[in-house]
Amino acid sequence: MCGINGIVGKFANKTDILQMCMLTKHRGPDFTNTYYEPAKIALGHNRLAILDLKPESNQPFQSPDGRYTLVFNGEIYNYIELKSSLKDYPFSTQSDTEVLLAAFIKWGKECLNQLNGMFSFAIWDSKDEVLFAARDRFGVKPFYYSFFKDSLVFSSEISPFFKIGISRTPNESIWAGYFVNGEYQKGKQTFWKGIYRLGPGEMLTYSRKEFKVEKWYDFIQRTTEAKANLPKDLKSYFKELLLDSTSLRFRADVPVGFNLSGGLDSSMLLSLIQNQFPDNSSIEAFTFYTGDDRYDELPYVKQLVEDYSFPLNPVLITADEIPELTYQESFKQQEPFGGIPTLAYSKVFQAARSKGIKVLLDGQGADEVWAGYDYYFNAVSTNIQGVKKSPYRLNVLNSEFAAIYQKTELEEPFGERLLNLQYRDLFSTKLARALRFSDRVSMRHSTELREPFLDYRIVESAFCLDENLKVQDGKQKWLFREIAGEFLNKSIRLAPKRPLQTPQREWLSSDLKDWVSEEVKELENMPWFEKKELRKELQRFFEGDIDSSFHIWQWVNTSVILKNQETT
């Protein structure tokens, strides 16, 4: 897991690529270096050393003949197996970085289908003067790009674009969508004009002659093929996939731990780890708590681990930490993020890093893949778990600003409602934003996050299951729970889904009332908002209308992000 930066074209220069790397150094504090060809290419890399810690594996990484130069963020979990198919390549390291470059040299863009991992990378061909870049199937690792001074600029994060002179201009249509419909992204667009994201499973080619973005991963085709090839003994098949996926994600030359909550998914992860690494006390578990018994899962977590040898590290987050954490996290995210739970998650990675643990696993993705959300099986069209009424407050928006938002009808490529909802959550809403939040909070503390349940083999095979294998007798994720029955007791296996919660409503309306008031006041003179309505809704919240705090967090988060311009 690392930070990558690049400038391709006439604007390529050493000064700016180094400035970009300084802003992504938290992503890879172990080594920073650049590659430069005047007025053609400048590449920068920040390394977080996970595999083959020797300096020979530092990046930018070049092929033996010097033709190809690679900057790579992520992990190729099956690099050992791939290496056995690349015996004609003169390997000089034990890294997955070199395996990725060798695979590209041998197979070109077709190498992408061979990779089991999370990645975003760019390869410069100095002979043909072409840049090739790609992002993993589900968009675990980020890749942003922009055009500036007749050049292509790319980075793992957004702040570096502003540092080198690209305008920090809000993309009002995306901001409007955020307030009107809770949208965090729309296609390639970000919250800033002229800065774009490469989508999940997309690849990019850039030269003086062309710029092209296209899909390399065809999820629809892959799931159709997976359905045709599902074995009869599904429980055994998925059990082996889950065990293998977890084992692959323990490939590291540094300490590995995992995140834990009291829910089914992380309980399953705990059991998969215990199955393969029993009595390994060097593998540590982490969880956060707030000290509020109405929300904390710490008692459940303690029960889970009491029969295992894995040390548990409870991480406390308190209300008085929230303002400073929000300022810090907003600078790294540069786009709205998911409230106090995201800040609590950030503290987990900080705690892990303080103990020398560079890699954490978690159970992210299981709900989207195995159909765990309640709205999958009721008539509600929202994508927010457990809400009773709209969390948005359109009355506070200027009518002209709100009208900028044009709802995009998302693709529905499948003939079943459930599959289309899962597809939406995997590629456009739930998972897409969660992965962005998680990438920033983990990398802010120079820690790598790995998600075993997002192994593409599991995703493709579980997604295409018949609906009766996803829900039975009112129990969602039915087959997943059946598999969990081989590892977990009945009370955990059959427990209903609980949203990961913090006392956000209570803290924002009481403990942090003054701070919230100050931040929301900053928005009153913005043309996006109606001052009187904004004040009215805020007062309602303070007076006890706290069924939802999402709109309050939206306003606070927006205020902090927009003010953050001075620190970029």
Helix, strand, coil distribution of the chain in percent, nearest 5: 45, 20, 40
Which residue has tokens 């998925």? 238
Spatial CB neighbours of 81, under 8 Å, sequence gap ≥ 6: none
Q: How far is CA 360 from CA 39, 234, 329, 334, 438, in A?
A: 40, 28, 19, 24, 11
Q: State the alpha helices, DSSP H only, in 289-416.
A: 298-305, 322-333, 340-354, 366-370, 399-404
- Say whether 2 is catalytic: yes
Tell me which H or E stretch contains 283.
none
Sign of CA dihedral 155, 156, 157, 158: positive
88 assigned ligand-binding residue: no
Contact call for residues 286 and 260 (beta carbons, < 8 A): yes
Helices vs strands, H then E, count in the chain:
22, 19
Query: What end-to-end distance do the CA atoms of the chain give, in Å?
Result: 23
The one catalytic residue in 2, 21, 111, 464 is 2
- Rounded to whole angstroms, the Cα distance separating 434 from 342 reads 9
Enumerate long-range contacts of 223-227, CB under 8 Å, 24 or more apart.
223/460, 223/463, 223/464, 224/464, 226/460, 226/461, 226/463, 226/464, 227/464
Catalytic residue annotation: 2
Residues in the annotated binding site for L-glutamine: 96
